[in-house]
Amino acid sequence: MDLISALLLAVGALLVALGLFDALRTAIAVGGGGPLTNRLAHGLWHATLRWHRRGRQQSEGTGGGHHRLLARVGPTVLIGIVLTWIVLLIAGYFLMFSADPSSVVRASGAQPPADFFERLYFAGFSVSTLGTGDFIPDGDAARMLTVFASLSGFFMMTLTVTYAMPVISAVVAKRRLASSIAGLGLTPAEILHGGWDGESLASLEQPLVNLASQIEMHTQRHLAYPVLHIFHVAQPRAAAEPRIAALSEALRLMRHLPEEAQPPPAAMRSARSAIDGFLRLARSSFVPPEQQHDAPDRPVAGPLRTAGLPVPPEEGAVENGEQKGEGISQQKRRRRLLRALVEDDGWTWADVVHEDSPPLP
């Protein structure tokens, strides 16, 4: 075997190994996708997000068309990931068959060696397990390589289905979570106003417990399928990130109410703990510190007081929060992360609060 043949064989084997490793890492391993999958997903998402932000600034609005473009990134990446795996396998086996030009011959006639495109065709239908039969391997090594190509192709198709179906189910569950929160209210003020019965927010106990369970499952799905983060929804009501931020802000306002007006403490702790778990994953996975800028403006409490809720002034709220074990700096860090999470999904903080009244002094 000459140097060129050895090089073709080595590069081909490397491409096959890279494709199989990336597929295994993405489809089976918990805690992150493969190196190619992550680069493809993050690269395409952030490129589209930058274009979306520039267009939004030029139009001085959120622009539904931009959100529709972001909504196409997730399916595009999912298809691109699968195509990348298949192309790597076909290219790898093509190079390995090309290491010996006589390893693939025609199945009929004088059986001349296959040319460049015929070897590529043979590698393709071997990986796809079609087995058309107009070309055959010649020699024991070529036959064994054909067996490995068919087995790895069948294994790749199985991994593709194993990966794609749970991702699609997780996307549906993500939208269901957002709709469940939106059912309580689209903004923090709406959530409190909708749960207020004139005396307390006790009616929010069961919804908070249910949402805590959904958010915990959402976190686990994100951990198993990081590509889930780039599946954007063009409608704010069905977008999980701004709705989770709205729920978190509502919980923050609840803590500033008199204790007799709050939902049961266990329900509040459960919901807040679930959101904290998701924020920890976000900080370590897809919202790095350099994206966490200033904390958003303080919640607007005026409309809540008008509706009869006993919301204290902002200064008193901060003191109340500190007495409950959460300092100002911790609150700011948490709200900075929430804002970065919302913005990394293509939304703004205005999509969380939708308030026209100025914040209280």
- Write the pLDDT tens digit of every residue in 15-60: 999 999 999 999 887 766 788 998 899 899 989 988 888 876 655 5
- Output the pLDDT for position 350: 87
CA dist 61 and 59 (Å) reads 5
CA dist 328 and 337 (Å) reads 14
Collapsing DSSP to helix, strand or coil, 104 comes out as strand
Cα dist from 163 to 31, 81, 111, 159, whole Å: 14, 10, 41, 6
CA dist 25 and 32 (Å) reads 8
- Output the pLDDT for position 167: 93
Question: Does residue 358 carry a pLDDT above 80?
Answer: no
pLDDT: which is higher, 308 or 158: 158
Cα within 13 Å of Cα(320), Cβ side: 15
- Please report, to the nearest 10 degrees, the dihedral formed by the alpha carbons of residues 317, 236, 48, 52 taken in order: -80
Q: What angle do CA 311, 313, 317 make, to 5 degrees?
A: 75
Instruction: Single out the residue of 152, 34, 139 nearest to residue 92, CA to CA.
Output: 152
pLDDT digits (tens, 9 = 90+) for 214-232: 999 999 999 889 899 999 9
Contact predicate 230/45, CB 8 Å: yes
- Count of residues for the chain? 361
Contact predicate 173/217, CB 8 Å: yes
Question: Does residue 170 carry a pLDDT above 90?
Answer: yes
CA dist 341 and 54 (Å) reads 18
Mean pLDDT, rounded, for 158-163: 90
Question: Does residue 315 carry a pLDDT above 50?
Answer: no
Strand runs labelled E in the chain: 104-106, 135-137
Give the chain's domains with CATH numbers: 3-160 (1.10.287.70), 185-353 (no CATH)
User: What does the block give as tokens for 283?
Assistant: 């900080």
Sign of CA dihedral 243, 26, 119, 128: negative
Contact predicate 33/24, CB 8 Å: no
CA dist 289 and 282 (Å) reads 10
pTM confidence score: 0.84
Mean pLDDT, rounded, for 97-105: 90
- Output the pLDDT for position 77: 93
Instruction: Single out the residue of 244, 228, 188 nearest to residue 77, CA to CA.
Output: 228
- Output the pLDDT for position 235: 87
pLDDT digits (tens, 9 = 90+) for 184-205: 999 998 999 889 888 899 999 9
User: What does the block give as tokens for 111?
Assistant: 């059986």
pLDDT digits (tens, 9 = 90+) for 250-305: 998 888 888 999 999 999 999 999 999 999 998 888 777 666 677 777 666 666 66
**For the chain, what percent of residues have pLDDT higher than 70?**
83
Contact predicate 211/180, CB 8 Å: yes
Mean pLDDT, rounded, for 179-188: 93
Q: Which long-range contacts (CB under 8 A, 24 or more apart) does 51-54 make?
A: 52/346, 53/346
